[in-house]
Structure 1
Amino acid sequence: MISTSLQSPRPPVGELLRQWRERRRLSQLELSIQADISTRHLSFVETGRSKPSSEMIVRLTEQLNVPLRERNQVLLAGGYAPAYPETALSAPEMAAVREAVRRVLAGHEPYPALMVDRHWNLLDANAGIALFTEGCAPELLAPPVNVLRLGLHPGGMARHITNLAEWRGHLLDRLQRQAAATADPVLSELHEEVSAYQSPEHPAGSPAIGPSIVVPLHYRYGDRNLSFFSTTAVFGTPLDITLSELAIESFFPADPQTAAFLTAR
């Protein structure tokens, strides 16, 4: 058993709220207007002169778009029970969610699609994703598979990506913004790790025809140059932590040649 004296003390609730407000770059006045409370009251809460109710904490964290997992931590810091459950994806009550995800993934075939958790660990995928995993180092495919590690590691997809610098910059920027928005140390560590990967030698990609409206993924598969763009889908208005942290990444062909090749496979 870990001694309580060795555990890191939880910051006061007011300090946590102030940290989240500053992370969102809001002034006390701006947040107080959004939350429909007085600036004086908010100031008293942040400095510890006033103890917020659980309802006030929920209201402020909602306005600050604090992730559900961290909202529970703020409630605990205020002396209240967590308000948001965390249900395992394998639990019976998540059966409808699992079925919905499987329908979305299967319905996207023959194009690749996958589902990840908050740390970009692969939870499910359709048959089309084999296009990207084929030939990747076995250690990168050993569970839990991290999609960003698989995508940017020299032994993974990176050696097949012909616009690696562009795609790598897009993923690293996305990961950095996610880490900043959630204050998740695991994401910060992942960003540090994948940023250090050395780019492998790779063939030059085909020149783009016209301006791109999204960041493309140009992928060499055998003797073919395939082109994709991706979309991300999340569950709307989730009240469960697990559900709020799921994301489905779907890849679409960005040109007729890619679409024809995938349809014919």
Structure 2
Amino acid sequence: MTTAQAAVPVSAPIPSDQGVGPLLRGWRVRRRVSQLELALRAGSSARHISFVETGRSRPSEEMVLRLAEHLDVPVRERNALLLAAGYAPHYPETPLDDPSIQALRAGVERLIRAYEPFPALVVNATYDVVAANQGIAMLLEGVPRRLLAPPLNAMRLTLHPEGLAPRILNLRAWRGHLLAQMERQIALQRSDALRALHEEVAAYPVPDRAGGEDEQASSVPYFALPMRIEHDGRVLSFLSSISTFNTPMDVTVAELAIETFLPADPATAAYLHSTPHSTRS
């Protein structure tokens, strides 16, 4: 349920059984950074970076973390780099129901409730819904109960032919952005679960009418791709925004994303404020 930029190819996972060198090289190539540039960023030398990538030199734990930081490697994959180099993982992965993380979860839930009557939700790395507010519940009215059985999955709910898809007027454009978003994530993560989800939702049938009459239906000048969805006889338009945590030190926290839906036109905003779901005047 998030907008996305241009698609990138779904990259095959980099083999992790060849040591840390090929993994680091793979990340450097993905980031389009030369050995010299990476060395300058990390306070090393191009020669040493070359030796690390070819396995002629074993990097220290500190060097692995430093290179990962300068290559903007996701936290989960930083642990994979450390393991490939023969070190213990540096970042914990705390379950969301662990008492130590309850304060953070409670804060996030307060945040999305405060966003009402506008829709907002929190998803994990595979788009399972961790929390959602009443605005999301309103959009899901009429979705079959079997699709709402835990764990709720935002991509599945949005693109399933019995979910929101038949009500999204610009489905082809919105679907394309969602799939591109997943493809970029797959290119950065070795996640079989995410790849399987992508294959599943990409195979859902698209109604013949999708992306036809509504692409230019609105005279409102949008500045980002909106999701235009039918609800209770009205057309609601939303712009999506994604928020993540800065400098996360835990895998679970690093993979949480807060998605909020801002009304894209005055009519949508007025309707949301007038519904029984609204908690604000």
- TM-score, normalisation: structure 1: 0.92
Equivalent-residue separation in structure 1 for 2:180 and 2:16 (angstroms): 32
Q: Which residue of structure 2 lines up, in the alignment, with residue 229 of structure 1?
A: 239
Q: Where in structure 2 are there 5+ consecutive unaligned residues? A: 1-14, 276-281
Identity %: 51
2:217 aligned to 207, 210, 220, which one? 207
Please report how far the alpha carbon of residue 103 of structure 1 lies from its aligned counterpart in structure 2 after TM superposition. 1.3
1:39 aligned to 46, 62, 66, which one? 46
Structure number with higher helix proportion: 1
Q: Which residue of structure 2 lines up, in the alignment, with residue 220 of structure 1?
A: 230
Please report how far the alpha carbon of residue 262 of structure 1 lies from its aligned counterpart in structure 2 after TM superposition. 0.8
More displaced 10-residue stretch of structure 1: 194-203 or 145-154: 194-203
1:261 aligned to 267, 271, 274, which one? 271
Would you say the 8 A contact 1:160–1:202 is kept in 2?
no
Please report how far the alpha carbon of residue 83 of structure 1 lies from its aligned counterpart in structure 2 after TM superposition. 0.7
1:80 alignment partner, SS class: coil
Would you say the 8 A contact 2:157–2:164 is kept in 1?
yes
Equivalent-residue separation in structure 2 for 1:183 and 1:211 (angstroms): 39
Equivalent-residue separation in structure 2 for 1:148 and 1:36 (angstroms): 42
2:228 alignment partner, SS class: strand
Q: Counterpart amino acid of 2:197? A: L
Please report how far the alpha carbon of residue 197 of structure 1 lies from its aligned counterpart in structure 2 after TM superposition. 1.3
Equivalent-residue separation in structure 2 for 1:23 and 1:140 (angstroms): 36
Equivalent-residue separation in structure 2 for 1:199 and 1:75 (angstroms): 43
Equivalent-residue separation in structure 2 for 1:173 and 1:113 (angstroms): 21
> Within the alignment, does 1:119 sit opposite 2:126 as a pair?
yes
Please report how far the alpha carbon of residue 224 of structure 1 lies from its aligned counterpart in structure 2 after TM superposition. 0.6
> Within the alignment, does 1:59 sit opposite 2:69 as a pair?
no
Higher relative CO (CA 8 A, sep ≥ 6), structure 1 or 2? 2
Runs of 4+ with deviation above 4 angstroms: none
Q: Which residue of structure 1 lines up, in the alignment, with residue 81 of structure 2?
A: 74
1:92 aligned to 77, 91, 99, which one? 99
Please report how far the alpha carbon of residue 113 of structure 1 lies from its aligned counterpart in structure 2 after TM superposition. 0.6
- TM-score, normalisation: structure 2: 0.87
Q: How many residues align?
A: 258
Equivalent-residue separation in structure 1 for 2:21 and 2:249 (angstroms): 24
